[in-house]
């Protein structure tokens, strides 16, 4: 597993009122990430999952060890992280918070995607039949692809847009209305948050601000995760 450092800093989380396909739960507020952290450069791969857990739950096994593990629940991701921490004798591995994920995804950009107002299927794996507004169509691969097939963004992360949805730590809930340092989401809830869109979703679900959610025990063939690590 490879990680890159994500610097501390401030950003505006959520989307502006005029952003196309904006969700009603994306109200903007200023977030301060007070400490740097590490983010895995790719989504957890099938090979990495097998080394830690000894099995492979993925629906796209024929994609190979370098493709993201999928068909894992939020609870499965927590079991993987717990075992990884035990294997390395640490407590530093975890899921990123929703705020950390969006901060890392944006990499100081303010546009719908870190690529600008449009994102092509050369830049992300999604259903290219449904591009963002006023953007050209692309291909629809109909499956996951290997990590590193698309270019990383400015901070060195791959597939923050597309390939598989990524579980984050937070319960789903409304954003605060004022500036908050290191937000961690509600204390309890019914759903856990997923970010980033996936191979079989439209482009607008890939937006940096887009929020998705599901039950923490649900498994789908488009849900995976990546790991964060404390310094």
Count of the separate structural domains present in the chain: 1
Which tokens in the block code for residue 189? 């809830």
User: Can you give the pTM of this predicted structure?
Assistant: 0.97
| CATH number, residue 100 | 3.90.1580.10
pLDDT digits over 145-155, tens only? Answer: 998 889 899 99
Tens-level pLDDT at each residue, the chain (231 residues)? 999 999 999 999 999 999 999 999 999 999 999 999 999 999 999 999 999 999 999 999 999 999 999 999 999 999 999 999 999 999 999 999 999 999 999 999 999 999 999 999 999 999 999 999 999 999 999 999 998 889 899 999 999 999 999 999 999 999 998 999 999 999 999 999 999 999 999 999 999 999 999 999 999 999 999 999 999
pLDDT digits over 38-86, tens only? Answer: 999 999 999 999 999 999 999 999 999 999 999 999 999 999 999 999 9
Three-class DSSP category at 150: coil
Contacting residues for 18 by C-beta, under 8 A, at least 6 apart: none
Q: Which residues constitute the domain of residue 55?
A: 3-230
Q: What is the pLDDT of residue 148?
A: 83
The burial of 89, by beta-carbon neighbours within 10 Å (0-12 exposed, 13-18 middle, 19 or more buried), is given as exposed
Which tokens in the block code for residue 79? 């079991």
Helix and strand totals (H; E) in the chain: 3, 11
Which tokens in the block code for residue 229? 């690590």
């Amino acid at each position: 597993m490879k990680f890159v450092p994500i610097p501390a800093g401030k950003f505006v989380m959520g989307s502006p009122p005029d952003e196309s396909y904006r969700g009603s739960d994306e109200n903007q507020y200023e977030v301060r990430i007070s400490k740097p952290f590490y983010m895995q450069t790719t989504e957890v791969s099938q090979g990495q999952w097998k080394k830690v857990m000894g099995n492979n739950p993925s629906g796209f096994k024929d994609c190979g060890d370098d493709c993201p593990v999928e068909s894992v629940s939020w609870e499965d991701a927590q079991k993987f992280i717990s075992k990884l921490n035990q294997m390395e004798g640490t407590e530093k591995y975890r899921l990123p918070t929703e705020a950390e994920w969006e901060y890392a995804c944006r990499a100081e950009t303010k546009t719908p995607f870190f690529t600008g107002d449009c994102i092509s299927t050369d830049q992300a794996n999604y259903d290219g039949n449904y591009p963002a507004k006023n953007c050209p169509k692309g291909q629809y691969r109909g499956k996951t692809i290997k990590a590193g097939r698309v270019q990383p963004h400015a901070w060195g992360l791959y597939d923050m847009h597309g390939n598989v949805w990524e579980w984050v730590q937070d319960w789903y809930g409304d954003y605060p209305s004022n500036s908050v340092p290191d937000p961690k989401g509600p204390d309890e809830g019914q759903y856990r948050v997923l970010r980033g869109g996936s191979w079989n979703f439209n482009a607008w679900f890939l937006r940096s601000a887009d929020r998705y959610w599901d039950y923490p025990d649900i498994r789908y063939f488009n849900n995976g995760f990546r790991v964060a690590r404390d310094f």
